[in-house]
Amino acid sequence: MQLGIVTYDIAKDWNLDTIFKRLDALRYEGVELRTTHAHGVEISLSSDERKEVRKRFSDSPVALAGLGSTYEFQSTDPAVVKKNVEGAKEYVRLAHDVGSPGIKVRPNGVPKGADREATFKQIGAALREVGEYAVGFGVEVRLEVHGAVTQDPPNCAKIIAHADHSNVFVCWNSNPTDVSKDGTIAANFKLLAAKIREVHLRDLFDEQYPWRELFALLSAHDYSGFTLAEIPSSPDPERVLRYFRSLWLAYQPMPK
């Protein structure tokens, strides 16, 4: 497993220079660049600017783990869904140009009054369209396990089944709803395990979430991708990230 961060929220005010300098010094291996943050890696970049971002990551020991968009496909208005699909495709092109292996999209719940199963099917169809488009650019589409109702792993698994595409994956989000009444995540993890391409981690001091079990399950599935700290901002982010890394190391399964 590799350790990185999501710029939401711990690094929302860091430009690329700061990201490269701090993460290298803190021994973090990668970063997911979430849209709207100070790094400025957005679809508005020109061709030359995209080449420059790609070169800067190529020259840095810090890897670009992914691009984090906020495109979502649950709206009851077909025009809104279409706009988000086209926006996600633009993000795919950005990812290709800057050297990102994938983009993150999300469901954000089920609209009030909408049929759940129909909404899951609609999200899946949009994902399939974006995933198919992204194949030609060598970019993965990763669905964040996100939003009321849609973040429940059984429901997210339904969405993925509706997408039914080899280039549509999952970003495990470490939500409280992952945890079953028996205190484990094993059953819910199993529903999505084969599709996990990225993992978001919350504060590792939260004893309500079975972190050791999560790392053991990831290890058992030979997960070698990024586990990314998606944690709140801090007036002393470097100190916080040092502690986070120490906890991350402590949770790693012992070698067999």
Q: Rounded to two decimals, what is the model's pTM?
A: 0.97
In whole angstroms, what is the distance from residue 27 CA to residue 244 CA? 11
The continuous run of DSSP H or E covering 169 comes out as: strand 168-172
Confidence of residue 108 (pLDDT cuts 50, 70, 90): very high
Alpha helices in the chain (DSSP H): 16-26, 47-58, 78-98, 116-135, 153-163, 186-192, 211-220, 237-251
Tokens, residue 22: 């701090």
* pLDDT of 256 higher than 70: no
254: confidence class by pLDDT, cuts 50, 70, 90: confident
Query: In this predicted model, what pLDDT tens digit does every residue of 87-96 receive, in sequence order?
Result: 999 999 999 9
Confidence class for position 226, pLDDT limits 50, 70, 90: very high
Q: What does the buried/exposed string (b/e) look like for 112-130 if buried means 16 or more CB atoms within 10 Å of the residue's CB?
A: eeeeeeebbbbbbbbbbbb
All residues at 6 or more sequence positions from 198 whose CB lies less than 8 Å from its CB, including other chains: 32, 65, 66, 102, 104, 142, 169, 170, 171, 172, 225, 226, 228
Set out the domains of the chain in order of their start, with CATH numbers: 2-251 (3.20.20.150)
As given in the structure block, the two tokens for residue 19 are 């990201």
Confidence of residue 175 (pLDDT cuts 50, 70, 90): very high
Amino acid at 145: V
Q: What digits encode the pLDDT tens for the residues 75-86? A: 999 999 999 999
Q: What is the mean pLDDT of the chain?
A: 97
What is the average pLDDT across 128-138? 98
Q: Which residues contact 28 (CB under 8 A, 6 or more apart)?
A: 3, 4, 5, 62, 241, 245
Which tokens in the block code for residue 143? 């669905």
Pairing, β 102-105 against β 140-144? parallel
pLDDT tens digits along 2-36:
999 999 999 999 999 999 999 999 999 999 999 99
Q: What is the pLDDT of residue 41?
A: 98
Res 141 pLDDT > 90? yes
Task: Return d(Cα 31, Cα 22) in angstroms, integer.
Answer: 11
Question: Could you give phi then psi for residue 76, rounded to 5 degrees?
Answer: -80, -5
Please choose, from the candidates 162, 97, 156, 93, the residue with its C-alpha nearest in 3D space to the C-alpha of residue 127: 162
- Using DSSP's 3-state secondary structure scheme, residue 4 falls into strand
